[in-house]
């Protein structure tokens, strides 16, 4: 069965086990009274090879999505995906290929030393990308994907070296889930700097603001990490607009802790983030199916 379609409907149109039940609970959709109308959910895989192909398809599509969002800038930016067959290896984009052109066959597989491996495209990769992503994958085995790009609003907000404020509902995706790396050490060329970034991310956060640089978002899936990047960039934009508008008579009103905690669990969980990315995936695949080649 093609892995390009298995995520759209659970097996037999029903929940296919405990993991799907948890997914459905977390995305809190409404269907029919017989339970036949269900939201799409992540697929189950018969082999690690099937999972690898599916994840690579979503990784390639994520680059196309980033291009549409304007997150491309020269050779800056990278998204990595832990390899389902070997957790010490990961897939990443080739250096100097525009995000809008990347296909599955262009993805590069690298080992823990940053060496390009057989089995993927034989292209060089970005050195700073390896320095950052390798250390995040090493420090956080619970995270399988990481995104970094030089988005305009992420760059602008990073110069404040602080997290976004809990001012509106969408910001609550990052409630107690956004770290700050409070230093700038120049272009990241060493794994020591990457390790410091991974340490700043900590044991639980999925996202980190890099002072004077930008931001990184992570997730259990590339879908989750990619959507969080889109969401965080927009939150940085909204934060700066709110700051600019604030003044006497226009003081900012913050969301209280109880509502913030509840909404984060409901709207910021991994299942909801996976689902939120699927419309973007659908759009780029429909417009150019060659992304899956």
pLDDT in tens, 74-121: 999 999 999 999 999 999 999 999 999 999 999 999 999 999 999 999
Predicted local distance difference test score (pLDDT) of residue 20: 73
Predicted local distance difference test score (pLDDT) of residue 273: 98
* 42 falls within a domain: no
pLDDT band at residue 12 under the 50/70/90 scheme: very low
Give residue-wise pLDDT tens across range 218-261. 999 999 999 999 999 999 999 999 999 999 999 999 999 999 99
- In terms of Cβ atoms closer than 10 Å to its own Cβ (0-12, 13-18, 19+), residue 251 is exposed
* 98 falls within a domain: yes
Predicted local distance difference test score (pLDDT) of residue 38: 93
- In terms of Cβ atoms closer than 10 Å to its own Cβ (0-12, 13-18, 19+), residue 70 is exposed
Predicted local distance difference test score (pLDDT) of residue 41: 95
Q: Are 212 and 158 in contact (CB under 8 A)?
A: yes
* 219 falls within a domain: yes
Predicted local distance difference test score (pLDDT) of residue 189: 76
Predicted local distance difference test score (pLDDT) of residue 65: 98
Domain CATH code at residue 134: 3.40.225.10
* 21 falls within a domain: no
* 39 falls within a domain: no
Interatomic CA distance for residues 169 and 263, integer angstroms = 8
Concatenated DSSP letters for 6-60? TTSS-GGGS--SHHHHHHHHHHT----TTS------PPP-SSHHHHHHHHHHHHH
pLDDT band at residue 8 under the 50/70/90 scheme: very low
The number of domains in the chain is: 1
Range of the domain at 261: 48-292
Predicted local distance difference test score (pLDDT) of residue 186: 79
Q: Are 164 and 156 in contact (CB under 8 A)?
A: no
Tell me the sheet residues that pair with 136: none
Predicted local distance difference test score (pLDDT) of residue 185: 82
Mean pLDDT to the nearest integer, 262-271? 95
Torsion of CA 102, 48, 273, 141, to 10 degrees: -100
pLDDT at 145 exceeding the cut of 70: yes
Give residue-wise pLDDT tens across range 160-214. 999 999 999 999 999 999 999 999 987 777 889 999 999 999 999 999 999 999 9
Interatomic CA distance for residues 268 and 260, integer angstroms = 11
Predicted local distance difference test score (pLDDT) of residue 19: 67
Higher pLDDT, 112 or 11: 112
Interatomic CA distance for residues 55 and 60, integer angstroms = 9
């Amino acid at each position: 069965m093609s892995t390009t379609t298995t995520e759209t409907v659970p097996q037999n149109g029903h929940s296919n086990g405990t993991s799907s039940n948890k997914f459905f609970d977390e995305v809190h959709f409404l269907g029919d009274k017989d339970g036949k109308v269900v939201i799409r959910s992540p697929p189950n895989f018969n082999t690690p090879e099937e999972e690898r192909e599916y994840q690579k398809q979503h990784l390639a599509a994520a680059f196309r999505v980033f291009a549409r969002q304007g997150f491309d800038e020269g050779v800056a930016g990278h998204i990595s995906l832990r390899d389902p067959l070997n957790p010490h290896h990961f897939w990443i984009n080739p250096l100097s290929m525009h995000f809008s052109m990347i296909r599955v066959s262009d993805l590069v597989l690298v080992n823990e030393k940053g060496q390009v491996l057989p089995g993927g495209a034989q292209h060089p990769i970005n050195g700073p990308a390896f320095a950052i992503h390798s250390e995040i994958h090493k420090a956080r085995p619970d995270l399988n994907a990481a995104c970094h790009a030089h988005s305009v609003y992420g760059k602008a907000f990073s110069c404040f070296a602080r997290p976004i404020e809990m001012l509106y509902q969408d910001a609550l995706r990052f409630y107690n889930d956004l770290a700050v790396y409070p230093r700038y050490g120049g272009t990241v060329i060493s794994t020591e700097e990457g390790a410091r970034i991974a340490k700043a991310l900590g044991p639980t956060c999925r996202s980190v603001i890099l002072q004077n640089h930008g931001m990184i978002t992570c997730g259990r899936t590339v879908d989750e990490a990619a959507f969080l990047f889109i969401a965080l960039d927009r939150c940085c934009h909204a934060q700066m607009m709110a700051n600019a508008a604030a003044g006497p008579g226009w003081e900012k009103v913050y969301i209280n802790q109880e509502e913030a905690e509840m909404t984060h669990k409901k709207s910021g969980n991994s299942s909801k983030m996976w689902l939120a990315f699927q419309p973007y995936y659908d759009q780029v695949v429909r417009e150019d199916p060659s992304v899956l080649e």
